[in-house]
Amino acid sequence: MDPKSVALIGISRRSGPGSFNLMETMCDFGYSGEIYPVNPSAGEILGKKAFPDVTAVKKEIDLAVITTPRETTLKILQDCVAANIKAAIVVNQGFNDADHLGRQMHRQMVEMAAGDGIRILGPNTLGIINSFAGFTTSFMPVTRQRVGIGLICQSGIHFVGPNNFSGMIGKGIDLGNSCDIGLYDALKYFADDPDIQVIAVHMEGLNQINDFLTLAARVVKEKPMVVHKGGRSDTGAKAAMSHTGSLAGDYKLIQAAMKQAGITFLEESGQMPYAVKTQHHLPPMRGNRVAVITFSGAAGIIIIDGLERHGLQLAALSPETIDQVAALSPGWMPLSNPLDIWPAVMKHGAGKVYSLALEAVLNDPNVDGIVCVAIAPLPEFSFLNVAEALNEVVENSPREKPVIGWTYGPNSTEVQTQFESKNRIMVYPTLELATWALTWLRDRCKIMMRHDEI
């Protein structure tokens, strides 16, 4: 994923918005290696001499990226073999996602990869992103961010960014229709990659699934893995066959096998960015006992509902913790968990009371994890904004208990960014997701502690 020289075969003379010129997106992303554009009808492309075909380059080429129509692909792959190129990415679609002819060409690519010493990624792929090395083959613009998250997917949508996933991909591999490189190969790459700490997978088909699962069971001890699988329904599975030409398999079986391997297996695609950031930034939760600190009684109750649903429980706070908060609360206020601190806040101010409560539960031996419910006020009510105060407490405590946030109010986007600014508190859009996050961290702890080798 860090080639020094690339041949771009079928690259357009057009550039600028709407041209989807890969050479341009590649350079914009930061690639500084050799580029050999191949286009028989162009003399030069973006200032570089163009070659009529790849065998005319006569230089060492680490990777060929092929974006020509499907009819030409096999001949070009043969040229690549002749030019001693060991790796190719086939971007175009129209193979086993399409008609009889497409499936036939797909089989020929499978045979070439098996016999002719060339590895093929795709077809039907945006290829790879490597933010660390500044290399991408995506013709859609992607943000470059050196985060320790490796993404394996079967669709370009995950490169472009489903909502909050943008900017969360340190390295990405889009397997497309997987005529050669599959789930196991991609996982092996990230398993051995010191830049990558968390591995996210969006899969549809089950290419190399047995090897993938065996390797995953080892990988998860060191690197958390989060998987979502499309095609769980019968109709969805059929659609997956026409999308990437892959067999979707029995969903319940896959789900059980993934969980057994120690993977965070998501039932909803919308949870992906939250599960990934949770595993990337928060410590595992060592037990089931959760403390809730809240400005709002109603939010506390919804969290309790979520905890019970997931087999977590409200921590029985130690008398020391209760006493510390009680000292700031009105005498009539019954205090337990959730710690409803609003009456104390009205008397002593938000920052002081919340900091004290958070410090108390962080030190409380009866507590394994913490949910903080706070208000996201407009700037003129910033005295109610506890983002800075809470981060100060968390930064001065060991990274032993996860601290989860949820905010309500008119300024959520800005305040949530403040909460997450130190990567020590993660915030979620709903109370339900906040409790899900704790379950992922509890499961993470169980995986890290299991002794049996699989």
Site for a copy of itself in 28-47 (CB under 8 A): none
Residues 6+ apart with CB under 8 A from 108: 74
Nearer to a copy of itself, 20 or 397 (CB): 20
Residue 240 binds to a copy of itself (criterion: CB under 8 A): yes
Residue with the two structure tokens 């669709």:
155
Nearer to a copy of itself, 3 or 231 (CB): 231
> For a copy of itself, which residue of 215, 301, 316, 448 counts as binding (CB under 8 A)?
301
The stretch among 115-123, 193-201, 387-395, 426-434 that binds a copy of itself (CB under 8 A) is 426-434
State how far the Cα of 115 lies from the Cα of 108, in Å rounded to an integer.
Answer: 11
| Binding track over 156-195 against a copy of itself, x by CB under 8 A | xxx-xxxx--xx----------------------------
> For a copy of itself, which residue of 134, 141, 283, 287 counts as binding (CB under 8 A)?
141
Token pair listed for 401: 């208990």
Nearer to a copy of itself, 305 or 320 (CB): 305
Helix axis angle, 251-261 to 209-219, nearest 10°:
30
State how far the Cα of 285 lies from the Cα of 280, in Å rounded to an integer.
Answer: 13
Residue 234 binds to a copy of itself (criterion: CB under 8 A): yes
Residue 420 binds to a copy of itself (criterion: CB under 8 A): no
Residue 250 binds to a copy of itself (criterion: CB under 8 A): no
> For a copy of itself, which residue of 73, 244, 279, 324 counts as binding (CB under 8 A)?
244
Contact 400, 370 (CB under 8 A): no
Contact 147, 131 (CB under 8 A): yes
SS3 content of the chain, % helix, strand, coil (to 5): 40, 20, 40
Token pair listed for 207: 């290419």
> For a copy of itself, which residue of 199, 299, 356, 404 counts as binding (CB under 8 A)?
299
Nearer to a copy of itself, 63 or 291 (CB): 291
Size of the site for a copy of itself (CB under 8 A): 80
State how far the Cα of 106 lies from the Cα of 74, in Å rounded to an integer.
Answer: 9
> For a copy of itself, which residue of 15, 148, 343, 414 counts as binding (CB under 8 A)?
343
Contact 264, 444 (CB under 8 A): yes
The stretch among 13-21, 44-52, 393-401, 417-425 that binds a copy of itself (CB under 8 A) is 13-21
Residue 19 binds to a copy of itself (criterion: CB under 8 A): no
Burial of 34 (0-12, 13-18, 19+ CB in 10 A): middle
> For a copy of itself, which residue of 300, 351, 402, 405 counts as binding (CB under 8 A)?
300
> For a copy of itself, which residue of 41, 194, 252, 332 counts as binding (CB under 8 A)?
332
Half-sphere exposure of 135 (CA within 13 A, CB side): 18
Contact 100, 65 (CB under 8 A): no
* Shortest Å, Cβ 451 to a copy of itself: 33
Instruction: Select from 41, 123, 134, 140 the least CA-distant residue to 89.
Output: 123
State how far the Cα of 357 lies from the Cα of 109, in Å rounded to an integer.
Answer: 62
Nearer to a copy of itself, 249 or 284 (CB): 249
Residue 247 binds to a copy of itself (criterion: CB under 8 A): no
DSSP, res 285: P
Show contacts with a copy of itself in window 393-412 (CB under 8 A): 407-410, 412
* Shortest Å, Cβ 264 to a copy of itself: 17
Token pair listed for 452: 């049996």
